[in-house]
Structure 1
Amino acid sequence: MLLLTGRPPMSSPKSPRAKSASALRRRVLRAAPVCAGLCATALLALAGPASAHVKVFSDDARQGRPATLRFRVPSERTAAVTVRVDVSFPEDVAPASVPPVGGWTDQVERPGPDGRTHVVWTARAGHEIASDDVRSFTVEVAPLPKDASVSFDAAQTYSDGYVVDWDEAQHGAAPPAFPAPVLVLDAAAYNAEQARAQATTAAPHPSVSAAAAQTASASGSGSGTGSWLPWTVAGVALAAAAGTALVRRGKPPTASGH
Protein backbone atom coordinates (compact mmCIF):
# COMPACT_ATOMS: atom_id res chain seq x y z
CA MET A 1 0.00 0.00 0.00
CA LEU A 2 1.41 3.40 -1.06
CA LEU A 3 1.39 6.08 1.64
CA LEU A 4 1.28 9.75 0.64
CA THR A 5 3.01 11.83 3.29
CA GLY A 6 2.38 15.22 1.60
CA ARG A 7 6.08 16.14 1.82
CA PRO A 8 7.34 17.97 -1.29
CA PRO A 9 9.97 16.22 -3.32
CA MET A 10 13.52 17.16 -2.46
CA SER A 11 15.27 19.25 -5.10
CA SER A 12 18.27 17.73 -6.62
CA PRO A 13 21.51 19.33 -5.53
CA LYS A 14 23.25 21.62 -8.00
CA SER A 15 26.15 20.20 -9.83
CA PRO A 16 29.60 21.66 -9.14
CA ARG A 17 29.56 23.10 -12.62
CA ALA A 18 26.27 24.98 -12.06
CA LYS A 19 27.56 26.30 -8.71
CA SER A 20 30.72 27.51 -10.40
CA ALA A 21 28.76 29.31 -13.12
CA SER A 22 26.49 30.98 -10.56
CA ALA A 23 29.44 32.12 -8.48
CA LEU A 24 31.16 33.49 -11.56
CA ARG A 25 28.10 35.50 -12.53
CA ARG A 26 27.91 37.00 -9.04
CA ARG A 27 31.58 37.98 -9.12
CA VAL A 28 31.25 39.59 -12.54
CA LEU A 29 28.16 41.52 -11.46
CA ARG A 30 30.07 42.90 -8.48
CA ALA A 31 33.14 43.72 -10.56
CA ALA A 32 31.46 45.35 -13.55
CA PRO A 33 30.56 48.65 -11.79
CA VAL A 34 34.08 48.86 -10.36
CA CYS A 35 35.64 48.33 -13.81
CA ALA A 36 33.37 50.97 -15.33
CA GLY A 37 34.29 53.43 -12.59
CA LEU A 38 37.99 52.82 -13.09
CA CYS A 39 37.64 53.36 -16.85
CA ALA A 40 35.75 56.63 -16.38
CA THR A 41 38.25 57.91 -13.81
CA ALA A 42 41.21 57.11 -16.00
CA LEU A 43 39.69 58.72 -19.08
CA LEU A 44 38.82 61.87 -17.13
CA ALA A 45 42.36 62.01 -15.81
CA LEU A 46 43.67 61.88 -19.38
CA ALA A 47 41.22 64.45 -20.73
CA GLY A 48 41.14 66.83 -17.74
CA PRO A 49 44.31 68.86 -18.38
CA ALA A 50 43.50 69.46 -22.03
CA SER A 51 39.99 70.79 -21.28
CA ALA A 52 41.21 73.33 -18.68
CA HIS A 53 42.98 75.71 -21.09
CA VAL A 54 41.92 79.26 -21.84
CA LYS A 55 40.59 79.20 -25.42
CA VAL A 56 39.18 81.62 -27.99
CA PHE A 57 36.14 80.91 -30.17
CA SER A 58 34.20 82.76 -32.85
CA ASP A 59 31.16 81.98 -34.98
CA ASP A 60 31.84 84.65 -37.61
CA ALA A 61 35.63 84.97 -37.81
CA ARG A 62 36.77 85.50 -41.41
CA GLN A 63 39.96 86.88 -42.87
CA GLY A 64 39.63 90.61 -43.56
CA ARG A 65 36.30 90.94 -41.74
CA PRO A 66 35.17 92.13 -38.28
CA ALA A 67 34.30 89.39 -35.83
CA THR A 68 33.06 88.66 -32.33
CA LEU A 69 35.51 86.68 -30.19
CA ARG A 70 34.70 84.73 -27.05
CA PHE A 71 37.43 83.91 -24.57
CA ARG A 72 36.50 80.85 -22.51
CA VAL A 73 38.18 80.90 -19.08
CA PRO A 74 37.94 77.89 -16.74
CA SER A 75 38.92 78.10 -13.07
CA GLU A 76 41.08 75.14 -12.02
CA ARG A 77 42.38 75.83 -8.53
CA THR A 78 40.41 74.24 -5.69
CA ALA A 79 41.51 76.68 -2.96
CA ALA A 80 41.10 79.93 -4.94
CA VAL A 81 38.83 81.66 -7.45
CA THR A 82 39.62 83.60 -10.62
CA VAL A 83 39.43 87.37 -10.02
CA ARG A 84 41.13 88.87 -13.08
CA VAL A 85 41.56 88.03 -16.77
CA ASP A 86 43.99 89.98 -18.96
CA VAL A 87 44.03 89.28 -22.72
CA SER A 88 46.68 90.94 -24.89
CA PHE A 89 45.99 91.33 -28.62
CA PRO A 90 48.46 91.06 -31.50
CA GLU A 91 49.25 94.28 -33.35
CA ASP A 92 47.03 93.38 -36.32
CA VAL A 93 43.92 92.66 -34.23
CA ALA A 94 42.23 95.74 -32.75
CA PRO A 95 39.39 95.54 -30.20
CA ALA A 96 36.44 97.66 -31.36
CA SER A 97 34.12 97.22 -28.38
CA VAL A 98 33.79 95.13 -25.23
CA PRO A 99 30.25 94.01 -24.29
CA PRO A 100 29.68 94.13 -20.53
CA VAL A 101 29.91 90.97 -18.42
CA GLY A 102 27.63 90.80 -15.40
CA GLY A 103 29.57 91.23 -12.13
CA TRP A 104 32.80 92.18 -13.90
CA THR A 105 34.39 95.49 -14.91
CA ASP A 106 36.38 95.84 -18.12
CA GLN A 107 39.17 98.14 -19.20
CA VAL A 108 40.93 98.56 -22.55
CA GLU A 109 44.60 99.56 -22.31
CA ARG A 110 46.03 101.15 -25.49
CA PRO A 111 48.88 100.39 -25.35
CA GLY A 112 49.68 98.17 -22.38
CA PRO A 113 53.06 97.89 -20.64
CA ASP A 114 54.35 95.67 -23.45
CA GLY A 115 53.18 97.97 -26.23
CA ARG A 116 50.22 95.76 -27.13
CA THR A 117 46.52 96.42 -26.62
CA HIS A 118 45.10 94.71 -23.53
CA VAL A 119 41.53 94.03 -22.43
CA VAL A 120 41.33 93.44 -18.69
CA TRP A 121 38.30 92.09 -16.82
CA THR A 122 38.14 92.31 -13.01
CA ALA A 123 35.53 90.53 -10.89
CA ARG A 124 33.36 92.31 -8.39
CA ALA A 125 32.96 90.66 -4.99
CA GLY A 126 30.78 87.56 -5.26
CA HIS A 127 31.14 87.21 -9.05
CA GLU A 128 34.51 85.49 -9.27
CA ILE A 129 34.92 82.32 -11.32
CA ALA A 130 34.60 79.52 -8.78
CA SER A 131 36.64 76.33 -8.85
CA ASP A 132 35.63 74.02 -11.72
CA ASP A 133 33.44 76.76 -13.20
CA VAL A 134 33.79 78.52 -16.58
CA ARG A 135 33.03 82.03 -17.83
CA SER A 136 33.18 83.56 -21.29
CA PHE A 137 34.34 87.10 -22.10
CA THR A 138 33.40 88.71 -25.42
CA VAL A 139 35.31 91.22 -27.56
CA GLU A 140 34.22 92.66 -30.90
CA VAL A 141 37.25 93.27 -33.11
CA ALA A 142 38.03 95.22 -36.27
CA PRO A 143 38.71 93.32 -39.52
CA LEU A 144 40.99 90.37 -38.90
CA PRO A 145 44.29 89.92 -40.74
CA LYS A 146 44.60 87.63 -43.74
CA ASP A 147 46.63 85.07 -41.81
CA ALA A 148 46.06 81.39 -41.21
CA SER A 149 45.61 82.05 -37.49
CA VAL A 150 46.00 84.70 -34.82
CA SER A 151 47.35 84.06 -31.33
CA PHE A 152 46.50 85.87 -28.11
CA ASP A 153 48.19 85.89 -24.71
CA ALA A 154 46.09 85.60 -21.56
CA ALA A 155 47.00 86.08 -17.90
CA GLN A 156 44.62 84.54 -15.36
CA THR A 157 44.89 85.81 -11.77
CA TYR A 158 43.49 83.92 -8.76
CA SER A 159 42.36 85.26 -5.41
CA ASP A 160 45.49 83.93 -3.70
CA GLY A 161 47.73 85.94 -6.05
CA TYR A 162 48.65 83.01 -8.28
CA VAL A 163 48.92 84.00 -11.97
CA VAL A 164 48.75 81.59 -14.89
CA ASP A 165 50.20 82.89 -18.16
CA TRP A 166 48.62 81.25 -21.19
CA ASP A 167 51.23 82.36 -23.71
CA GLU A 168 53.16 79.33 -24.95
CA ALA A 169 53.32 78.57 -28.67
CA GLN A 170 53.33 75.01 -29.96
CA HIS A 171 56.63 73.76 -31.33
CA GLY A 172 56.61 70.24 -32.68
CA ALA A 173 54.08 67.51 -31.98
CA ALA A 174 53.93 67.84 -28.18
CA PRO A 175 51.39 70.45 -27.01
CA PRO A 176 52.70 73.04 -24.52
CA ALA A 177 51.61 73.00 -20.90
CA PHE A 178 50.14 76.54 -21.04
CA PRO A 179 49.17 77.15 -24.69
CA ALA A 180 48.20 80.60 -25.91
CA PRO A 181 44.62 80.88 -27.21
CA VAL A 182 44.70 80.51 -31.01
CA LEU A 183 41.95 81.53 -33.43
CA VAL A 184 42.19 79.57 -36.71
CA LEU A 185 41.08 81.51 -39.79
CA ASP A 186 42.24 79.11 -42.53
CA ALA A 187 42.23 75.50 -41.34
CA ALA A 188 44.08 74.07 -44.33
CA ALA A 189 46.87 76.64 -44.19
CA TYR A 190 47.10 76.36 -40.41
CA ASN A 191 47.42 72.57 -40.54
CA ALA A 192 50.10 72.87 -43.22
CA GLU A 193 52.05 75.31 -41.02
CA GLN A 194 51.82 72.93 -38.07
CA ALA A 195 52.99 70.01 -40.19
CA ARG A 196 56.00 71.98 -41.43
CA ALA A 197 56.89 73.04 -37.89
CA GLN A 198 56.67 69.47 -36.63
CA ALA A 199 58.83 68.21 -39.49
CA THR A 200 61.42 70.89 -38.77
CA THR A 201 61.65 70.13 -35.06
CA ALA A 202 61.34 66.33 -35.35
CA ALA A 203 64.36 64.44 -34.02
CA PRO A 204 66.18 62.04 -36.38
CA HIS A 205 65.00 58.45 -36.24
CA PRO A 206 67.17 56.34 -33.92
CA SER A 207 68.89 53.20 -35.19
CA VAL A 208 67.45 49.77 -34.47
CA SER A 209 70.02 49.07 -31.77
CA ALA A 210 69.47 52.45 -30.12
CA ALA A 211 65.69 52.00 -30.21
CA ALA A 212 66.04 48.57 -28.59
CA ALA A 213 68.26 50.03 -25.88
CA GLN A 214 65.76 52.81 -25.21
CA THR A 215 62.91 50.31 -25.00
CA ALA A 216 64.82 48.14 -22.54
CA SER A 217 65.72 51.16 -20.44
CA ALA A 218 62.13 52.41 -20.36
CA SER A 219 60.77 49.00 -19.40
CA GLY A 220 63.34 48.67 -16.64
CA SER A 221 62.84 52.15 -15.19
CA GLY A 222 59.02 52.03 -15.31
CA SER A 223 58.81 55.59 -16.63
CA GLY A 224 56.53 54.88 -19.63
CA THR A 225 53.27 55.78 -17.95
CA GLY A 226 52.00 57.78 -20.89
CA SER A 227 52.34 54.82 -23.26
CA TRP A 228 50.74 52.04 -21.26
CA LEU A 229 47.94 53.94 -19.53
CA PRO A 230 45.58 54.22 -22.55
CA TRP A 231 46.04 50.49 -23.28
CA THR A 232 45.30 49.68 -19.63
CA VAL A 233 42.10 51.72 -19.76
CA ALA A 234 41.05 49.97 -22.96
CA GLY A 235 41.79 46.55 -21.45
CA VAL A 236 39.73 47.28 -18.35
CA ALA A 237 36.84 48.53 -20.51
CA LEU A 238 36.90 45.39 -22.67
CA ALA A 239 37.02 43.16 -19.60
CA ALA A 240 34.03 44.95 -18.09
CA ALA A 241 32.07 44.70 -21.34
CA ALA A 242 32.86 41.00 -21.74
CA GLY A 243 31.89 40.26 -18.16
CA THR A 244 28.61 42.12 -18.50
CA ALA A 245 27.78 40.26 -21.70
CA LEU A 246 28.51 36.94 -20.00
CA VAL A 247 26.14 37.72 -17.16
CA ARG A 248 23.38 38.88 -19.47
CA ARG A 249 23.56 35.70 -21.49
CA GLY A 250 23.78 33.50 -18.38
CA LYS A 251 26.39 31.49 -20.24
CA PRO A 252 28.23 29.00 -18.05
CA PRO A 253 32.00 28.72 -18.35
CA THR A 254 33.32 26.18 -20.80
CA ALA A 255 34.37 22.83 -19.48
CA SER A 256 37.98 22.68 -18.35
CA GLY A 257 38.38 19.15 -19.62
CA HIS A 258 39.01 17.60 -16.20
Structure 2
Amino acid sequence: MVSSRHEAAHRIFQDRPELLAPVFRILDLPPPEKAAVEVLTPDVTEARPLERRVDSVLRVKPYDGGGFLLAIEAQGRCDPDKAVNWAYYVSYLAAKYKHPVLLLVVCQDKATADWAAGPFRLGMDDWTTLSVHPLVLGPGNVPVILDPEEAAQDLTLATFSALTHGSHRDAPAILKALARAMGTADPDSVRYYTELLEIGLGAKTPAGITWRNEMSVGTYFPGRGTLIEETFLKGKAEGEA
Protein backbone atom coordinates (compact mmCIF):
# COMPACT_ATOMS: atom_id res chain seq x y z
CA MET A 1 0.00 0.00 0.00
CA VAL A 2 1.30 3.45 -0.93
CA SER A 3 1.72 5.63 2.16
CA SER A 4 1.27 9.39 2.46
CA ARG A 5 4.99 9.75 3.24
CA HIS A 6 5.76 7.88 0.01
CA GLU A 7 3.47 10.16 -1.97
CA ALA A 8 5.03 13.37 -0.66
CA ALA A 9 8.57 12.28 -1.52
CA HIS A 10 7.87 12.34 -5.27
CA ARG A 11 4.80 14.58 -5.55
CA ILE A 12 6.86 17.70 -4.81
CA PHE A 13 8.58 17.26 -8.19
CA GLN A 14 5.21 17.40 -9.99
CA ASP A 15 3.99 20.47 -8.12
CA ARG A 16 7.32 22.32 -7.93
CA PRO A 17 9.41 21.37 -11.00
CA GLU A 18 11.86 24.17 -10.17
CA LEU A 19 13.33 21.67 -7.70
CA LEU A 20 14.94 19.91 -10.67
CA ALA A 21 17.66 22.55 -11.08
CA PRO A 22 19.23 22.18 -7.59
CA VAL A 23 18.65 18.43 -7.66
CA PHE A 24 20.62 18.06 -10.87
CA ARG A 25 23.45 20.07 -9.34
CA ILE A 26 23.41 17.74 -6.30
CA LEU A 27 23.75 14.80 -8.70
CA ASP A 28 26.61 16.48 -10.61
CA LEU A 29 24.55 16.63 -13.78
CA PRO A 30 24.07 19.70 -16.00
CA PRO A 31 20.80 21.26 -14.82
CA PRO A 32 17.99 21.62 -17.38
CA GLU A 33 18.10 25.41 -17.56
CA LYS A 34 15.03 27.24 -18.90
CA ALA A 35 13.31 23.94 -19.57
CA ALA A 36 9.59 23.31 -19.88
CA VAL A 37 8.47 20.49 -17.60
CA GLU A 38 5.39 18.42 -18.39
CA VAL A 39 3.81 15.86 -16.07
CA LEU A 40 3.05 12.65 -17.94
CA THR A 41 0.82 9.75 -16.96
CA PRO A 42 2.63 7.34 -14.61
CA ASP A 43 0.67 4.42 -16.06
CA VAL A 44 2.98 2.00 -17.86
CA THR A 45 0.42 -0.79 -18.19
CA GLU A 46 0.13 -2.55 -21.50
CA ALA A 47 -2.92 -4.50 -22.70
CA ARG A 48 -2.67 -7.02 -19.90
CA PRO A 49 -4.27 -7.41 -16.49
CA LEU A 50 -1.09 -6.59 -14.50
CA GLU A 51 -1.08 -2.92 -13.50
CA ARG A 52 2.24 -1.11 -13.47
CA ARG A 53 2.73 2.50 -12.38
CA VAL A 54 5.76 4.71 -11.91
CA ASP A 55 5.39 7.16 -9.01
CA SER A 56 5.96 10.27 -11.19
CA VAL A 57 7.02 10.83 -14.80
CA LEU A 58 8.17 14.23 -16.06
CA ARG A 59 9.07 15.26 -19.60
CA VAL A 60 11.82 17.88 -19.56
CA LYS A 61 12.20 20.02 -22.69
CA PRO A 62 15.19 22.39 -22.68
CA TYR A 63 14.70 25.61 -24.65
CA ASP A 64 17.47 24.61 -27.07
CA GLY A 65 15.75 21.39 -28.15
CA GLY A 66 16.08 17.74 -27.36
CA GLY A 67 14.59 16.59 -24.09
CA PHE A 68 14.35 13.58 -21.84
CA LEU A 69 12.02 11.80 -19.44
CA LEU A 70 12.57 11.64 -15.70
CA ALA A 71 10.94 8.67 -13.99
CA ILE A 72 10.81 9.31 -10.23
CA GLU A 73 10.37 6.58 -7.64
CA ALA A 74 10.06 7.09 -3.88
CA GLN A 75 11.60 4.10 -2.13
CA GLY A 76 11.16 3.43 1.57
CA ARG A 77 12.99 0.11 1.85
CA CYS A 78 15.19 -2.34 -0.02
CA ASP A 79 13.09 -4.43 -2.41
CA PRO A 80 14.70 -7.14 -4.59
CA ASP A 81 11.75 -7.01 -7.01
CA LYS A 82 12.49 -3.41 -7.96
CA ALA A 83 15.35 -4.29 -10.31
CA VAL A 84 12.95 -5.93 -12.76
CA ASN A 85 10.25 -3.28 -12.28
CA TRP A 86 12.64 -0.38 -12.82
CA ALA A 87 14.12 -1.99 -15.93
CA TYR A 88 10.59 -2.38 -17.27
CA TYR A 89 9.63 1.23 -16.51
CA VAL A 90 12.69 2.66 -18.24
CA SER A 91 12.37 0.42 -21.30
CA TYR A 92 8.64 1.01 -21.65
CA LEU A 93 8.89 4.80 -21.38
CA ALA A 94 11.81 4.97 -23.83
CA ALA A 95 9.86 2.88 -26.34
CA LYS A 96 6.61 4.83 -25.91
CA TYR A 97 7.93 8.41 -25.95
CA LYS A 98 11.10 7.94 -28.03
CA HIS A 99 13.12 9.96 -25.51
CA PRO A 100 16.08 9.11 -23.29
CA VAL A 101 14.94 8.14 -19.80
CA LEU A 102 16.59 8.83 -16.43
CA LEU A 103 15.45 7.02 -13.30
CA LEU A 104 15.56 9.04 -10.07
CA VAL A 105 15.03 7.23 -6.76
CA VAL A 106 14.23 9.30 -3.65
CA CYS A 107 15.07 7.68 -0.29
CA GLN A 108 14.63 8.88 3.29
CA ASP A 109 17.24 6.65 4.92
CA LYS A 110 20.88 5.96 4.08
CA ALA A 111 20.65 2.15 3.91
CA THR A 112 17.93 2.28 1.27
CA ALA A 113 19.76 5.02 -0.66
CA ASP A 114 22.98 2.96 -0.73
CA TRP A 115 21.08 -0.05 -2.01
CA ALA A 116 19.08 1.93 -4.59
CA ALA A 117 22.25 3.19 -6.27
CA GLY A 118 22.70 -0.27 -7.78
CA PRO A 119 23.67 -1.07 -10.43
CA PHE A 120 21.02 -3.76 -10.95
CA ARG A 121 22.07 -6.32 -13.51
CA LEU A 122 19.60 -8.63 -15.22
CA GLY A 123 20.81 -11.71 -16.99
CA MET A 124 22.23 -15.12 -16.26
CA ASP A 125 25.40 -16.11 -14.41
CA ASP A 126 28.22 -13.86 -15.65
CA TRP A 127 26.29 -12.51 -18.62
CA THR A 128 24.46 -9.18 -18.15
CA THR A 129 21.59 -8.59 -20.56
CA LEU A 130 20.41 -5.33 -19.03
CA SER A 131 21.83 -3.06 -16.36
CA VAL A 132 19.90 -0.34 -14.48
CA HIS A 133 21.81 2.57 -12.92
CA PRO A 134 19.44 4.81 -10.93
CA LEU A 135 20.19 8.35 -9.82
CA VAL A 136 19.63 8.50 -6.06
CA LEU A 137 18.69 11.30 -3.67
CA GLY A 138 18.95 10.59 0.03
CA PRO A 139 20.39 11.77 3.33
CA GLY A 140 23.92 11.31 1.97
CA ASN A 141 23.71 13.95 -0.78
CA VAL A 142 20.72 16.21 -0.11
CA PRO A 143 21.99 19.25 1.82
CA VAL A 144 21.03 19.88 5.43
CA ILE A 145 19.65 23.45 5.65
CA LEU A 146 19.86 24.94 9.13
CA ASP A 147 19.90 28.66 8.28
CA PRO A 148 16.44 30.33 8.01
CA GLU A 149 17.78 32.84 5.48
CA GLU A 150 19.17 30.06 3.28
CA ALA A 151 15.87 28.18 3.57
CA ALA A 152 13.92 31.30 2.59
CA GLN A 153 15.99 31.68 -0.60
CA ASP A 154 14.72 28.32 -1.89
CA LEU A 155 11.73 27.03 0.06
CA THR A 156 11.23 24.14 -2.34
CA LEU A 157 14.72 22.76 -1.78
CA ALA A 158 14.48 23.45 1.97
CA THR A 159 11.20 21.54 2.14
CA PHE A 160 12.65 18.65 0.18
CA SER A 161 15.66 18.68 2.50
CA ALA A 162 13.36 18.48 5.53
CA LEU A 163 11.48 15.55 4.00
CA THR A 164 14.71 13.71 3.22
CA HIS A 165 16.27 14.32 6.63
CA GLY A 166 13.17 13.63 8.71
CA SER A 167 15.03 10.95 10.68
CA HIS A 168 18.27 12.96 10.98
CA ARG A 169 19.54 13.97 14.42
CA ASP A 170 19.34 17.60 13.28
CA ALA A 171 15.71 17.28 12.13
CA PRO A 172 14.37 19.61 14.85
CA ALA A 173 16.86 22.33 13.85
CA ILE A 174 16.10 21.81 10.15
CA LEU A 175 12.37 22.17 10.77
CA LYS A 176 12.83 25.19 13.02
CA ALA A 177 14.83 26.98 10.32
CA LEU A 178 12.19 26.12 7.73
CA ALA A 179 9.36 27.30 9.98
CA ARG A 180 11.08 30.66 10.43
CA ALA A 181 11.67 30.91 6.67
CA MET A 182 7.93 30.35 6.08
CA GLY A 183 7.32 33.78 7.59
CA THR A 184 8.66 35.45 4.46
CA ALA A 185 6.64 33.32 2.02
CA ASP A 186 3.28 34.04 0.44
CA PRO A 187 0.24 32.38 2.09
CA ASP A 188 -0.34 29.90 -0.75
CA SER A 189 3.24 28.63 -0.50
CA VAL A 190 3.00 28.41 3.29
CA ARG A 191 -0.14 26.29 3.05
CA TYR A 192 1.34 24.02 0.38
CA TYR A 193 4.68 23.38 2.10
CA THR A 194 3.10 23.04 5.54
CA GLU A 195 0.62 20.43 4.33
CA LEU A 196 3.22 18.58 2.29
CA LEU A 197 5.52 18.32 5.30
CA GLU A 198 2.70 17.15 7.57
CA ILE A 199 2.00 14.37 5.09
CA GLY A 200 5.60 13.58 4.25
CA LEU A 201 6.92 13.48 7.80
CA GLY A 202 3.98 11.56 9.22
CA ALA A 203 1.66 12.77 11.95
CA LYS A 204 3.00 10.48 14.68
CA THR A 205 6.73 10.57 13.97
CA PRO A 206 9.05 12.75 16.10
CA ALA A 207 9.72 14.98 13.08
CA GLY A 208 6.02 15.25 12.28
CA ILE A 209 5.18 16.24 15.84
CA THR A 210 8.02 18.77 15.85
CA TRP A 211 6.75 20.32 12.62
CA ARG A 212 3.19 20.66 13.88
CA ASN A 213 4.47 22.30 17.05
CA GLU A 214 6.66 24.71 15.11
CA MET A 215 3.84 25.81 12.83
CA SER A 216 1.34 26.09 15.68
CA VAL A 217 3.60 28.73 17.22
CA GLY A 218 4.10 30.62 13.97
CA THR A 219 6.49 33.21 15.38
CA TYR A 220 9.27 33.51 17.92
CA PHE A 221 8.04 36.94 19.05
CA PRO A 222 4.23 36.61 19.46
CA GLY A 223 2.26 39.83 19.68
CA ARG A 224 5.08 42.01 18.33
CA GLY A 225 3.52 42.52 14.90
CA THR A 226 6.56 41.32 12.96
CA LEU A 227 6.35 40.47 9.26
CA ILE A 228 6.72 36.79 10.09
CA GLU A 229 3.83 36.94 12.57
CA GLU A 230 1.58 38.92 10.23
CA THR A 231 2.27 36.60 7.30
CA PHE A 232 1.71 33.51 9.41
CA LEU A 233 -1.55 34.76 10.94
CA LYS A 234 -2.85 35.87 7.54
CA GLY A 235 -2.02 32.47 6.02
CA LYS A 236 -3.57 30.67 8.99
CA ALA A 237 -6.77 32.73 8.77
CA GLU A 238 -7.10 32.13 5.04
CA GLY A 239 -6.46 28.43 5.55
CA GLU A 240 -9.17 28.20 8.20
CA ALA A 241 -11.56 30.10 5.95
Do they superpose with TM above 0.5? Answer: no
More strand by share: 1
Structure of higher RCO (CA pairs closer than 8 Å, 6+ residues apart): 1
TM-score for the superposition, normalised by structure 1 = 0.27
Q: Which protein is richer in helix relative to its size?
A: 2
Which protein shows a greater Rg?
1
TM-score, with length taken from structure 2: 0.28
